[in-house]
Amino acid sequence: MRVTCTVNGVDRTADDVWEGESLLYVLRERLGLPGSKNACEQGECGSCTVYLDGTAVCACLVAAGQAAGRDVRTVEGLAPEGGLDPVQRAFLQAGAVQCGFCTPGLIVSVHDLLAHNPQPTDPEIREALAGNLCRCTGYEKIMDAVRLAAADGAGAA
């Protein structure tokens, strides 16, 4: 089937989509947007987190057809071409990236957290990131990055 949706502000169309395919597969394999990562395929790890109509979701759990006509925003669309979103900048500054596989999902989740709660407490940060697994960092640098992004007013952006 053919699936058309808005991705990062641009109308995109994917052809020959299998009806049982996920939005994640469409993004990565059909639309050339490999920022959202494919790891667990069962909503456990959060590395495929994207916005669907403004709501943070696991792209692996959205059927491609469910995204038709909807607005999708991926990690590639958080900042203008060549620039960095304040959350991305904070992750770099805090050293919150090791292997980097979980990072795109975490960036979107933190972006979503700060948009709703610009000054989160530590327990609120942990709760908001409970669905994003990182096996490298032990999360401490990620916590630092979120605090730094909040201090820099990322949520107000």
Partner 1 sequence: MDFLNPATWADALKMKAERPDAVPIAGGTDVMVELNFHRRRPPALLDLTRIGELSTWDLDGDTLRLGAGVSYARIMAELGEQLPGLAMAARTVGSPQIRNRGTVGGNLGSASPAGDAHPPLLAAGARVELASVRGTRLVPVDEFFTGPKRSVLAPDELIAAVLVRPAAGPEQFSKIGTRNAMVIAVSSFALALHPDRRAVGTGIGSAAPTPRRAAEAELFAAGQLPWDTLGALDPDVVRRFGELVAAAAAPIDDVRGTAAYRRHALAVMARRTLTWAWRDLCG
Per CB under 8 A, residues contacting partner 1 are 1, 18-20, 22, 41-44, 46, 49, 55-58, 60-63, 65-66, 68, 109, 112, 127-128, 130-132
Residue whose CB is less far from partner 1, 66 or 98: 66
CB of 17 vs partner 1, minimal distance in Å: 9
Q: What are phi and psi of 16, to 5 degrees?
A: 55, 35
CB of 78 vs partner 1, minimal distance in Å: 16
Residue whose CB is less far from partner 1, 125 or 145: 125
CB of 136 vs partner 1, minimal distance in Å: 18
Q: Which residue has the tokens 């995204």?
A: 67
CB of 30 vs partner 1, minimal distance in Å: 15
